[in-house]
Structure 1
């Protein structure tokens, strides 16, 4: 169990959460003593597989608009409870109208993908500055390739073409994973998702799960519909807009943290990961706690924001971008401007 930045992470199997007055009582059969956490300190609970929450506490959280999310041990999102839907219906109406307009949908989708590709280039260029020789040359060459993908994206005439440009850029980017984390114990090379097949891909998937929870919550706080997006296909139960808005954050907030953890040897790929019969690789409970602490520390870091021309803490970036998207949908901004750094 880790409480950081008003989010309570509960990951130890067998742990149960109970309502005790105006506090959360944490119980585990193997632990002695009584742990109480005032509800006033917590605005979001994240529960991993094997942990439970009682109905009375869940309903209290819903009444207080305190969100509760469930994730698998690998960090994959499973469910979320937030209570009554909040927000301005006029904003959601504008959001849905934009989704029905091919021109506006394409404009927003291109901006989000451009932000992702731009920030991916920054990850590669920063990594190149910290190395030399062939590895440096490959990272810089790939960064230049991504610059050309931005030109391809600018010429996209449909969302499908924009997604095609994004897919090509993602393939180029993940091809150099072994040069971003040179220890061969971490990765077999390339991105594997379902399931993640090596420790680095496992770490990336877990951090994407954390990022998805943060972005989903930011959209709901602003009053946007997380399920009506512009880039990912609309399907029942799929938070398309949350997945859309994640894209520009992935390289710098998730990928870079994963590479840092691996290269600084904060985890051991041989002992901090478990290989499952399905071929999936997952974090051990101890390693998951280490990653959660690293994730929360990273959320306190300030990042430059090109549009606002000021530094913004990482934890607030999804909220800032959700607000900028809302302003565009209300026609207060002529376009959606993704978060980028130079």
Structure 2
């Protein structure tokens, strides 16, 4: 189990990071802005253009502190990691399963969990906002998702499950707009748009999906699993397919629920976004700083994990799931247990 320490977010695009003794120093035009001891950090996430010194990269690799790079608008660029502590037999098993039908049960489990958690978001939204939402529309989507969930265990190949997953996702996103009950003029959801996001709510989803994917990839690499070799998502150069597999079970509970809260509690507003020439809607500097503040606070919230039967910090969830996947690959448990939201 990894202890949940701090994540350092570098949000000013002009900041530069360098090493000073066993400390991380942030500077602007050669003037020191802040200094942090390396031992208090678990990860550094940079949204800057100026970069990081080679000496600091080396120290972070030695201390197993990952450095992840994003553009100022949240597009993932890459990361620097230290040595992987997995063994070759675990990775051989992973690659063997990735190229075979043996991983079908894993795929069924994560997509069932995705559907379950997505449906739970709709159920909770219906109960919390029953005076303002279209109850019939929500109930119809909830029932449709349940019907397709029951079909998942019957499938005999991954392509069939991909088809069902697509239907469930479309049904879920078709009514997600009902759960946005405040700031309706500025925040609405017609359909999922990714590259680029076309509205404020999609911008929130894309930004935070990228952050969560990065956290999952780091957690996988930390236990020795190849984050690029997935069982459900197909392989592509530069695509962290296994991280994308695991995010399926977490995205509704961790990201979608958080975004709805940010909007419905008026914690973020239209002034935190900007529209580019290509009509992309992106989070600006002020909005990103605010969002990361609340995101970091939420990572320290305690949740109950039904499989390990313990309370953990939400920020530890990717690490717990990575460890459970590692246990499955080693043969210590019979199947991979995805995260199911029981709240």
Query: Per the alignment, in what secondary structure is the counterpart of residue 151 of structure 2?
Result: helix
Number of paired residues?
336
Query: Per the alignment, in what secondary structure is the counterpart of residue 249 of structure 2?
Result: coil
Deviations 1:64-89 (A, max 9, x none): 22211011233232101103333121
Cα distance in structure 1, aligned partners of 2:73 and 2:115: 26
Q: Which residue of 1 is the match for residue 94 of structure 2? A: 95
CA contact under 8 A between 2:134 and 2:178: conserved in structure 1? yes
Q: Which residue of 2 is the match for residue 331 of structure 1? A: 331
Q: Which residue of 2 is the match for residue 62 of structure 1? A: 61
**Are residues 82 and 234 of structure 1, via their aligned partners in 2, closer, same or farther at CA, if it must alter by over 3 Å?**
same
> Tell me, which stretches of 5 or more residues in structure 1 are unaligned?
none
TM-score, scaled to structure 1:
0.93
Query: Per the alignment, in what secondary structure is the counterpart of residue 157 of structure 1?
Result: coil
Deviations 1:147-188 (A, max 9, x none): 112122222221111111111111111111220113132125
CA shift for structure 1 position 144: 1.6
Query: 5 Å matches for 1:187-226?
Result: 187-226=188-227
Cα distance in structure 1, aligned partners of 2:73 and 2:150: 35
Cα distance in structure 1, aligned partners of 2:185 and 2:141: 20
Cα distance in structure 1, aligned partners of 2:188 and 2:166: 21
1:13 aligns with 2:27: no
Cα distance in structure 1, aligned partners of 2:155 and 2:140: 23
CA contact under 8 A between 1:11 and 1:50: conserved in structure 2? no
Q: Which residue of 2 is the match for residue 48 of structure 1? A: 47
More deviation, 10-19/305-314: 305-314
More deviation, 292-301/305-314: 305-314
Cα distance in structure 1, aligned partners of 2:26 and 2:318: 30
Q: Which residue of 1 is the match for residue 164 of structure 2? A: 165
> Tell me, which stretches of 5 or more residues in structure 2 are unaligned?
none
Query: Per the alignment, in what secondary structure is the counterpart of residue 17 of structure 1?
Result: strand
1:274 aligns with 2:274: yes
**Are residues 164 and 73 of structure 1, via their aligned partners in 2, closer, same or farther at CA, if it must alter by over 3 Å?**
farther
CA shift for structure 1 position 309: 2.8
Q: Which residue of 2 is the match for residue 245 of structure 1? A: 246
CA contact under 8 A between 2:61 and 2:81: conserved in structure 1? yes
Q: Which residue of 2 is the match for residue 178 of structure 1? A: 177
CA shift for structure 1 position 34: 4.7
CA contact under 8 A between 1:10 and 1:51: conserved in structure 2? no
1:138 aligns with 2:131: no
CA contact under 8 A between 2:110 and 2:338: conserved in structure 1? yes
**Are residues 84 and 130 of structure 1, via their aligned partners in 2, closer, same or farther at CA, if it must alter by over 3 Å?**
same
Cα distance in structure 1, aligned partners of 2:122 and 2:275: 29
Query: Per the alignment, in what secondary structure is the counterpart of residue 44 of structure 1?
Result: strand
